[in-house]
Amino acid sequence: MNQKQLAGEKAADYIEDGMTVGLGTGSTVFYTIQKVGEAVENGLRIKGVSTSASTTKLAESLGIPLVSIDEVDQIDLTIDGADEVDPKLNGIKGGGGALLFEKVVANASSKVIWVVDPAKKVESLGKFPLPVEVIPFGAQRLFRYFEKQGLSPVIRNKENAPYVTDSGHYIIDLHLEKIREPEQLAAWLDSLTGVVEHGLFLNGADLIVVGEADGPEIIEKY
């Protein structure tokens, strides 16, 4: 069993009968969703809220009942991946392009668990490029603005065209190397017209499950 699978499957243990569960996106939470599918087949009753088209497709293939985010008042628990996590349980997310829906679902959740492999644990955020989701109109203008600010932006591409998110937006990845003041950066990005969302998830998780070789490590917010 690989480290991602260890983390993903362990997180499924936190799901209880009758819960509304946010289902994240990515290669580690893939194993969580598979485990949830097995539990549903064996009688677990939950409602899932998906964070992406790919997760919806996977959950439906496994028989997990899904509801829209707009059909629920509260999500009991969301399990998702992360691209980087610091000691304060701040994270960078959005490598898979689902950051907007993931943040909407996380903000509606009573508890958030991230599942990661050990390589995702860092002392400070920023080595992983920070995704910034922007509307297509004016995207090049924002790109040039980020360039002038020295943020080393790259418009994410797929098959020689701009990558398009599930909600029809583009992503500009900022190659920052180190983020010294994530709260200040998040507030600044939030203030920019044309920016829909960014991948800084501050105070984003209540608990992290790390797939260590000798078994899952649990890190709780202190």
Pairing of β 130-134 and β 195-198: antiparallel
The verdict on whether residue 22 carries a ligand-binding annotation is no
Profile the chain (222 residues) by mean pLDDT over runs of 10 residues.
90 97 96 97 97 97 97 97 96 97 97 96 97 98 98 97 97 97 98 98 95 90 76
In this prediction, residue 204 carries a pLDDT of 86
Q: Exposed, middle or buried: residue 8 (CB in 10 Å: 0-12, 13-18, 19+)?
A: buried
Q: How is residue 46 written in tokens?
A: 């939950």
Instruction: Return the closest-CA partner of residue 28 out of 118, 108, 109.
Output: 118
| 204 has binding-site annotation | no
96 is in an annotated binding site: yes
State how beta strands 170-174 and 153-155 pair: antiparallel
Nearest alpha carbon to residue 11 among 26, 31, 25: 31
What superfamily would CATH give domain 130-199?
Answer: ACT domain (3.30.70.260)
Give the contacts of 38 (CB within 8 A, at least 6 positions apart). 62
Which of 9, 102, 133, 197 is catalytic? The answer is 102
The structure tokens 């569960």 sit at 21
**Residue range(s) in the chain whose domain bears CATH number 3.40.50.1360:** 3-122+202-213
Which residues, 6 or more positions from 206, have their beta carbon under 8 angstroms from its beta carbon? 89, 111, 112, 113, 220, 221
Amino acid at 27: S
Nearest to 221 by CA among 113, 122, 128: 113
82 labelled binding-site residue? yes
183-192 burial, b if ≥16 CB within 10 A, otherwise e?
eebbeebeee
pLDDT at 221: 81
CATH number 3.40.50.12160 given to 3-122+202-213? no
CA-CA distance, 104 to 102, in Å (whole number)?
A: 6
Question: Is 168 annotated as ligand-binding?
Answer: no
106 among the known binding-site residues? no
Residues of the chain with CATH 3.30.70.260: 130-199
Query: Is 102 annotated as catalytic?
Result: yes
